[in-house]
Amino acid sequence: MAVRRSALQSGPSKNSGTRPGSSRGAAREQVDDAVRSGLLTGRFIPGKAVTLRGLAAELGVSPMPVREVLQRLAAENALEVKPNGRVQVPDMTPGRFQEVLKARLLLEPELAALALPRLSPKDADDLKAIDDDIDQCILSGDAESYMRLNHAFHFRIYRASASEVLLPLIDSLWLQFAPFMRTVYGRVGTVSLEDRHKEAIRAIEERNEAALRGAIIADINDGMGILGTEILTGKGKA
Amino acid sequence: MAVRRSALQSGPSKNSGTRPGSSRGAAREQVDDAVRSGLLTGRFIPGKAVTLRGLAAELGVSPMPVREVLQRLAAENALEVKPNGRVQVPDMTPGRFQEVLKARLLLEPELAALALPRLSPKDADDLKAIDDDIDQCILSGDAESYMRLNHAFHFRIYRASASEVLLPLIDSLWLQFAPFMRTVYGRVGTVSLEDRHKEAIRAIEERNEAALRGAIIADINDGMGILGTEILTGKGKA
DNA sequence: TTTCTCCAAAAGTGATCACATTTTTGAAAA
DNA sequence: TTTTCAAAAATGTGATCACTTTTGGAGAAA
DSSP secondary structure of chain A: ------TT--S--TTSSS---S-TTHHHHHHHHHHHHHHHTT-SPTT-EE-HHHHHHHHTS-HHHHHHHHHHHHHTTSSEE-TTS-EEPPPP-HHHHHHHHHHHHHHHHHHHHHHGGG--HHHHHHHHHHHHHHHHHHHHT-HHHHHHHHHHHHHHHHHTTT-SSHHHHHHHHHHHHHHHHHHHHHHH-STT----HHHHHHHHHTT-HHHHHHHHHHHHHHHHHHHHHHHHTT----
- pLDDT at residue A228, as a whole number: 80
- pLDDT at residue B237, as a whole number: 42
Which of B81, B99, B169 has its CB closest to that of A163? B99
Q: Which residues pair with B81 in a beta bridge?
A: B87
Closest CA to A166 of B226, B107, B94: B107
Asked if residue B99 and residue B72 are part of one domain, the reply reads no
Asked if residue B52 and residue B157 are part of one domain, the reply reads no
As a whole number, the mean pLDDT across chain B is: 89
Asked if residue B179 and residue B81 are part of one domain, the reply reads no
- For the stretch A81-85, contacts whose Cβ atoms lie closer than 8 Å and that sit 24 or more positions apart, written own/partner, are A83/B24, A84/B24, A85/B24, A85/B25
Asked if residue A121 and residue A59 are part of one domain, the reply reads no
Does B12 have pLDDT greater than 60? no
- pLDDT at residue B157, as a whole number: 98
B95 and A CB contact within 8 Å: yes
Q: Of residues 79 to 138 in chain B, which lie within 7 A of strand C by their beta carbon? A: 81, 85-87
Asked if residue A67 and residue A52 are part of one domain, the reply reads yes
Does B188 have pLDDT greater than 90? no
Residue B56 lies in a domain: yes
Nucleotide nearest to A64 (CA to C1'): C14
CB of residue B54 closer than 7 A to nucleic acid strand C? yes
Give the distance, in angstroms, between residue B45 CA and nucleotide D16 C1'. 30
A71 and B CB contact within 8 Å: yes
Residue A157 lies in a domain: yes
Asked if residue B128 and residue B195 are part of one domain, the reply reads yes
Question: B123 falls in which pLDDT band (50, 70, 90)?
Answer: very high
Using an 8 Å Cβ cutoff, are B13 and B3 in contact?
yes
Asked if residue A181 and residue A120 are part of one domain, the reply reads yes
- pLDDT at residue B11, as a whole number: 41
CB of residue A24 closer than 7 A to nucleic acid strand C? yes
Residue A1 lies in a domain: no
Residue A155 lies in a domain: yes
Asked if residue A84 and residue A64 are part of one domain, the reply reads yes
Instruction: Tell me the pTM.
Output: 0.92
- pLDDT at residue A21, as a whole number: 42
> What are the pLDDT digits (tens) for B60-112?
999 999 999 999 999 999 999 999 999 999 999 999 999 999 999 999 999 99
Q: Which residue, of A68, A88, A108, is where some domain finishes?
A: A88
Q: Which residue, of A88, A113, A133, is where some domain finishes?
A: A88
Asked if residue B144 and residue B104 are part of one domain, the reply reads yes
B41 and A CB contact within 8 Å: no
Closest CA to B79 of B31, B44, B41, B131: B44
Q: Which of A93, A99, A176, A224 to mutate to test the interface with B (most CBs of B within 10 A)?
A: A99
Q: Which residue, of B88, B112, B135, is where some domain finishes?
A: B88
Residue A198 lies in a domain: yes
> What are the pLDDT digits (tens) for B89-99?
999 999 999 99
Handedness of CA B158, B160, B166, B167 (dihedral sign): positive
Question: Chain A window 170-189: which residues touch B at a Cβ cutoff of 8 Å?
Answer: 172-173, 176
Residue A226 lies in a domain: yes
What's the domain range around B33?
A: 26-88
Residues of chain A with pLDDT below 70 are: 1-22, 234-238
Nucleotide nearest to A55 (CA to C1'): D11
Mean pLDDT of B140-165: 97
Asked if residue A136 and residue A34 are part of one domain, the reply reads no
Q: In whole angstroms, what is the distance from residue A43 CA to residue A37 CA? A: 8
Asked if residue B218 and residue B126 are part of one domain, the reply reads yes
Total number of domains constituting chain A: 2
> What are the pLDDT digits (tens) for B28-38?
999 999 999 99
**Chain A hits for B85, Cβ within 8 Å:** 24-25
Percent of chain B with pLDDT over 90: 78
A106 and B CB contact within 8 Å: yes
CATH number of the domain within which A192 lies? 1.20.120.530
Amino acid whose CA is nearest the C1' of C15: A62
Residue A16 lies in a domain: no
CATH number of the domain within which B55 lies? 1.10.10.10
Q: Of residues 9 to 28 in chain B, which lie within 7 A of strand C by their beta carbon? A: 23-24
Asked if residue A113 and residue A216 are part of one domain, the reply reads yes
Residue A64 lies in a domain: yes
